[in-house]
Structure 1
Amino acid sequence: MSRARTGKPTKVLVYRHAGVTRTTHWINVLALSFLLLSGLQIFNAHPALYWGAKSVFAHPWLAMDPAERAGQPVGVTIIFGHQFTTTGLFGWSGKGQGEPRGFPAWATVPTYRDLADGRRWHFFFAWLFVINGFVYLAMSLITRHIQRDLWPKGWQLKPAHVWHEVVTHAQLKFPKGEEARTYNILQKGAYLGVILVLLPLMLGTGLTMSPGFDSAAPWLLDLFGGRQSARSIHFISAWLIVSFVIVHLVMVVASGTWNNIRSMVTGRYAIEVDTAAPAAPANDAAGEVA
């Protein structure tokens, strides 16, 4: 049923996210949440990071240690030689008198200190995440989602256009109408950075930290500069992904919480179109979102 062309903007629903995309997205939310929390439990077994093949205990680039000041226990975080008091958050936390911990109990799975259980949780959700990722990647290549929707067009890479997108996003101004159907250059850069850089780094460094896998692929140790370097890169990559998620959630809220959540649950996304001109077919909408 067609609408009268009044020339006034009206909202229409377009099909934005395929079923596979929506399913893998929510599995990613679950898997990444448990990977982060169980990863912090594993980190707490030795809350310090180094570069190279071995741990040089006297020279960590990051450490969360307990200390004593004026007869009282405190938490101290060391970053590249600079010390910060972080009692209650890093180094020393917990109920009552507290205890020495890298990250606090509320930020780890399980909440109690148990490296073995933390590793079980981590490995289970790591494999779930990897399998889910391969399903998403395979379907994206089959449907040409990456090539069609995520790969930047030449005009989008021009400095003037990139700067324009940075300014408009900083002002929380978002595309309307037909422009809302497709990804902008900032979205494409962020998604491709996660899919093609951060996630492979997480997988590669995670495997490098496994002595069993190193025996089968010793070249991984050389690739990442040693097991301790791999551990540091793994940690940094994890927090870059967390940063991506935080920015992603801020943009979801700023651009319309309900509209974005509905699109990732039902696949339908509302856009404003000028009824004086026919809207593009629904199947021309951006296909999927990671």
Structure 2
Amino acid sequence: MSAPVETVADTPPVAPVAVPAGRARSRLVYRHSWPIRVMHWVNVVALSIMFMSGLQIFNAHPSLSLGNRSDPGKEILAMGARTDANGQLVGITRVGQHEFVTTGLFGVSNGLDGKPQVRGFPSWLTVPGSRWLAMGRQWHFFFAWIFVLNGLCYVGYSIARKHLQRDLIPTKSDWRGIGRSIVDHLKFKHPHGEEALRYNILQRLAYLTVIFVFGIGVVLMGLAMSPRLDAVLSPLVEAVGGRQTARTIHFIIAWGFVAFVLIHVFEVLISGAFNQLRGMITGWYRIDEDPTRPATETTAESRHD
């Protein structure tokens, strides 16, 4: 998950460079402070390992149910296998009352030895091992705490630096421009120049949803699944409908993170992957300037966080 940008503060120009009139110009701005960059990459690692270790845990009981019980035949999602007339394993994924043959991906897939195995998700999507439930749980919980602490640091830093209030909370102007933002996204039209440093309404809503809905929701549902916390979180468990419902919500939110990451990576690729990655690795981001403006530009601007 990418951390939202911080607006570049107004600072004195550095290293003026003369540029011929009418020629396109660009300059570097210090877009991401080092704490934002560190927390972004910590999130990338933590979320990746949490997701893959979570799938390994899921494989121990590859089904989803509602309520407090997981009764056979009443699942809303189940992955399994059956044997066909030739004695071959066939992967079956059942959603409600509808069954789908998913051999090779869900239900039955090749193990590390290349032989078909009955498993929910394939081994290449799980860590730390193909069937190591106990270690998978340890990895999952360890990186879950890193995710929580990193998220708290991000929110605290963003509030202290007024990044959250300034760059993520939508303004009245943002809400008025939501129609144009939708059209621009559908046309894969991306802003340039100074406008590229500011999030539009859809980006702001996406980040707020990921941070405060997905982030908080996945942690609470994870805690609600723990038998050790039943006494403390019993009102929450009852509110969502039971521990199996909490597990199902946890699973859905996890895939919500995946959807966000895929969209985010796609947008990075089509809006200038090198420039975007440089910004999130070094902090420096290149923007284009209006060639009709005076022919003196700055090669960089800096801010001190």
- Structure 2-normalised TM-score? 0.88
The unaligned stretches of length 5 or more in structure 2 are 1-14
Q: AA paired with 1:176?
A: H
The unaligned stretches of length 5 or more in structure 1 are none
Aligned partner of 1:18 in structure 2 is 33
Are 2:56 and 1:41 aligned? Answer: yes
Match of 2:281 among 247, 255, 265: 265
Q: For residue 287 of structure 2, give the secondary structure of its aligned residue in structure 1.
A: strand
For residues 109 and 145 of structure 2, the distance between their equivalents in structure 1, rounded to whole angstroms, comes to 31
Aligned partner of 1:241 in structure 2 is 257
1:158-216 Cα offsets, whole Å, 9 max, x none, are 2xx22222222222221011111111111111101101101111000000011112222
Checking the alignment, whether the CA contact within 8 Å between 1:50 and 1:232 is kept in structure 2 is: yes
Aligned partner of 2:101 in structure 1 is 85
1:108-187 map, 5 Å: 108-158=126-176, 161-187=177-203
For residues 185 and 256 of structure 2, the distance between their equivalents in structure 1, rounded to whole angstroms, comes to 20
Q: For residue 51 of structure 1, give the secondary structure of its aligned residue in structure 2.
A: coil
For residues 84 and 205 of structure 2, the distance between their equivalents in structure 1, rounded to whole angstroms, comes to 46
Q: For residue 84 of structure 1, give the secondary structure of its aligned residue in structure 2.
A: strand
- Change over 3 Å in CA distance of 1:279–1:53 after alignment to 2: farther
Aligned partner of 2:205 in structure 1 is 189
Checking the alignment, whether the CA contact within 8 Å between 2:77 and 2:95 is kept in structure 1 is: yes
Q: AA paired with 2:133?
A: L
Aligned partner of 1:198 in structure 2 is 214
For residues 51 and 136 of structure 1, the distance between their equivalents in structure 2, rounded to whole angstroms, comes to 33
Q: AA paired with 1:180?
A: A
Are 2:122 and 1:104 aligned? Answer: yes
Q: For residue 72 of structure 2, give the secondary structure of its aligned residue in structure 1.
A: coil
Aligned partner of 2:16 in structure 1 is 2
For residues 111 and 166 of structure 1, the distance between their equivalents in structure 2, rounded to whole angstroms, comes to 42
Q: AA paired with 2:170?
A: P
- The CA RMSD measured in Å over matched residues stands at 1.9
Aligned partner of 2:224 in structure 1 is 208
Report which stretch shifted further, 111-120 or 1-10.
1-10
Are 2:247 and 1:221 aligned? Answer: no
For residues 279 and 174 of structure 1, the distance between their equivalents in structure 2, rounded to whole angstroms, comes to 23
For residues 8 and 225 of structure 1, the distance between their equivalents in structure 2, rounded to whole angstroms, comes to 63
For residues 154 and 262 of structure 1, the distance between their equivalents in structure 2, rounded to whole angstroms, comes to 32
Report which stretch shifted further, 95-104 or 177-186.
95-104
- Structure 1-normalised TM-score? 0.92
For residues 8 and 175 of structure 1, the distance between their equivalents in structure 2, rounded to whole angstroms, comes to 19
For residues 276 and 55 of structure 2, the distance between their equivalents in structure 1, rounded to whole angstroms, comes to 30
For residues 276 and 115 of structure 2, the distance between their equivalents in structure 1, rounded to whole angstroms, comes to 44
Percent identity for Structure 1 against Structure 2:
47
For residues 279 and 52 of structure 1, the distance between their equivalents in structure 2, rounded to whole angstroms, comes to 63
For residues 77 and 119 of structure 1, the distance between their equivalents in structure 2, rounded to whole angstroms, comes to 24
Superposed displacement of residue 225, structure 1: 1.4
Are 2:82 and 1:67 aligned? Answer: yes
For residues 84 and 270 of structure 2, the distance between their equivalents in structure 1, rounded to whole angstroms, comes to 44
Runs of 4+, deviation exceeding 6 Å: 278-281
Superposed displacement of residue 3, structure 1: 4.0
Q: For residue 140 of structure 1, give the secondary structure of its aligned residue in structure 2.
A: helix
Q: AA paired with 1:55?
A: S
For residues 208 and 31 of structure 1, the distance between their equivalents in structure 2, rounded to whole angstroms, comes to 20
Superposed displacement of residue 7, structure 1: 4.7
Report which stretch shifted further, 84-93 or 71-80.
71-80
